[in-house]
Amino acid sequence: MLQPDLTITPAHLATKLQRFWAVSAQKITLLDQAYDPASGSPVFTVQGKYTTRGWTEWTQGFQFGSAILQFDATGETDFLELGRRKTLKLMAPHVSHVGVHDHGFNNVSTYGNLLRLMREGRIPRNDWEASFYEMALKVSGAVQANRWTTINTSTAAGTPAGFIYSFNGPHSLFVDTIRSCRSLIVSHLLGHTFQGEGDKRIDLLGRALGHMQATAQFSVYYGEGRDTYDVWGRTAHESIFNVNDGQYRCPNSQQGYTGFSTWTRGLAWAMCGFAEELEALTILPDEQLTPFGGRGTLEAMLLKAARATCDFYLDNTPTDGIPYWDTGAPNLYKLGDYLGRPANPFNDHEPVDSSAAAIAAQGLLRLGHYLMNGKISSEGIDNETYNRGKTYWQAGLTVLSTLLDEPYLSMNPQHQGLLLHSIYHRPNGWDYVPAGSNIPYGESSMWGDYHLREAALYVQRIIDGGPYYTFFGRGYKDLIILG
């Protein structure tokens, strides 16, 4: 299981981060110069070169968002201009894309980051530019919220019973989509009015909270006997519903091994998504939360899911914090005591997924910070809560420290990727397998590269004494809402 380094602090990572941002800059420039956007969005590398994969358009925002994060961390204005220019030129189709559940990825990573920097005073305020970003984010959140399936279930939080359905169709709830809730939250915070047939107003906050509730209820397990494989914190990639009567039917998986094992990147999306939505809850006024069960009920629901998933990650990940791609992968047993030692991306049996680690690191850090700083409104903070938060925090720093070194940080100047040993779709065989190997390794993905930069920026801002980094701007300590 993961062994948090209890001595590490953000300051201990300063030297690694300095090298990281230099490598990151080189990779962003290399990809920008070498990749033709006419080929489609870059998705993952094959022999060190980014290529596309026609499944859904969900990764282009990570490419241009990476340039914006690079500016955020280093102040290098060339990257700001690159991110601005490419967002203006190429991201508009993603704002109105009605066929995906990925608006929180593409649009919050680009338009959202740019607006956040303007709100933080990191870039000059320009009313027309700000209005442009705001309009894109308002519409993106509404388009995402429109992918809605109503389900037949009790909602303890009083939230709308339903979820944002995946690109598979109205029957399909993906655990990944918990992170797209932030597009609805941003649209709500900007004061957008979302309307349906007959000018009926649709509450963006309500749908966001409803999706969080559905994900917490059906995608996350709590050891309460739902099935034979119900253990605290396990996640299902996909939950299937009968759209005729709204009844839940079964767990499933698209990119994991089975519906009854845990695909670790899906687990990581849940860890990160629930933790950052807990942070967002702190800036929402009580009167906005009362219709949906109230702050205490919503907070308890999100916190239970965040803690469960983070606990499962700690218990089912090798000592250095890098997980294998699925906790039920069929050949893991051939590795022996794989949880009792650091992960081995070059083994002969099952690949690791470093992109899951990059996403999970941020979830661990955010939940740890939330608990250590007494953000639980109903109970305050006690020693047990603080100590558990400290465990998550140290675990997050440990994972990040591992990723900032070889063999995970890509030091080859000809390799276009930043984070090595990322896995996309193991069941479909989409990942490149080097000659002589039984498993894929050595390649990168747009989401892995971007989320490693996000986790690095999170810690960099703490080192530099900057504003606490959140998707909604300025930091929840300031209690400042966009708009």
Task: Kindly report whether the peptide bond that precedes residue 407 is cis, defined as omega within 30 degrees of 0.
Answer: yes
DSSP summary character for residue 40: -
- Mean pLDDT on 439-443: 98
Greatest C-alpha distance within the chain: 62
Task: Report the run of H or E that residue 249 belongs to, with start and end.
Answer: strand 247-252
Compute the distance between CA of residue 183 and CA of residue 116 in angstroms, rounded to an integer.
13
* Spatial contact of 360 and 392, defined as CB atoms under 8 Å apart: no
Compute the distance between CA of residue 87 and CA of residue 467 in angstroms, rounded to an integer.
24
Compute the distance between CA of residue 158 and CA of residue 145 in angstroms, rounded to an integer.
18
Task: With CA atoms as reference, report the closest residue to 243 among 152, 146, 145, 147.
Answer: 152
Each residue of 300-310: pLDDT tens digit? Answer: 999 999 999 99
Task: With CA atoms as reference, report the closest residue to 62 among 444, 470, 458, 431.
Answer: 444
1 falls within a domain: no
446 falls within a domain: yes
Each residue of 285-295: pLDDT tens digit? Answer: 999 999 999 99
* Residue 172: φ, ψ to 5°: -115, 115
| 3-state class (DSSP) for residue 308 | helix
Each residue of 346-355: pLDDT tens digit? Answer: 999 999 999 9
170 falls within a domain: yes
Residue 54 confidence (pLDDT)? 76
In our burial notation (b when 16+ CB lie closer than 10 A, e otherwise), range 333-346 reads eebeebbeeebbbe
4 falls within a domain: no
DSSP summary character for residue 195: E
pLDDT level of residue 478 (50, 70, 90 thresholds): very low
The DSSP string of 96-159 is: T-TT-S-HHHHTIIIIIHHHHHHHTTSS---HHHHHHHHHHHHHHHHHHHTSEEE-----TT--
Kindly report the number of other CB atoms within 10 A of residue 406's CB atom.
Answer: 8
pTM: 0.96
92 falls within a domain: yes
| CB neighbour list of residue 228: distance below 8 Å, 6 or more residues apart | 260
Task: Report the run of H or E that residue 201 belongs to, with start and end.
Answer: strand 201-202
- Mean pLDDT on 59-88: 98
Instruction: Report CA 51 to chain centroid distance, whole Å.
Output: 22
Compute the distance between CA of residue 1 and CA of residue 319 in angstroms, rounded to an integer.
5
Residue 380 confidence (pLDDT)? 59
- Mean pLDDT on 280-284: 95
410 falls within a domain: yes
Task: With CA atoms as reference, report the closest residue to 411 among 83, 74, 73, 48.
Answer: 48
- Mean pLDDT on 236-244: 97
User: What percentage of the chain reaches a pLDDT higher than 70?
Assistant: 96
Q: Is 411 a residue whose pLDDT tops 50?
A: yes
For residue 329, what are the CA distances in angstroms to 176, 246, 361? 19, 31, 22
Number of domains comprising the chain: 1
2 falls within a domain: no
Compute the distance between CA of residue 366 and CA of residue 295 in angstroms, rounded to an integer.
19
Amino acid at 452: L
- What domain range is 246 assigned to? 10-478
Compute the distance between CA of residue 33 and CA of residue 256 in angstroms, rounded to an integer.
34
Compute the distance between CA of residue 273 and CA of residue 109 in angstroms, rounded to an integer.
14
Residue 377 confidence (pLDDT)? 46
Amino acid at 393: W
Kindly report the number of other CB atoms within 10 A of residue 77's CB atom.
Answer: 10
- Mean pLDDT on 17-33: 98
pLDDT level of residue 474 (50, 70, 90 thresholds): low
Residue 375 confidence (pLDDT)? 59
Task: With CA atoms as reference, report the closest residue to 365 among 13, 1, 116, 60.
Answer: 13
Residue 53 confidence (pLDDT)? 87
Q: Is 476 a residue whose pLDDT tops 70?
A: no
Compute the distance between CA of residue 145 and CA of residue 244 in angstroms, rounded to an integer.
20
DSSP summary character for residue 50: E
Q: Is 154 a residue whose pLDDT tops 70?
A: yes
Residue 382 confidence (pLDDT)? 84
CATH number (domain holding residue 65): 1.50.10.10
User: What percentage of the chain reaches a pLDDT higher than 90?
Assistant: 92
Point out which residues pair with 445 in neighbouring strands.
Answer: 44
Q: Is 483 a residue whose pLDDT tops 60?
A: no
Q: Whole-angstrom distance between the N-terminal and C-terminal Cα of the chain?
A: 44
Residue 479 confidence (pLDDT)? 36
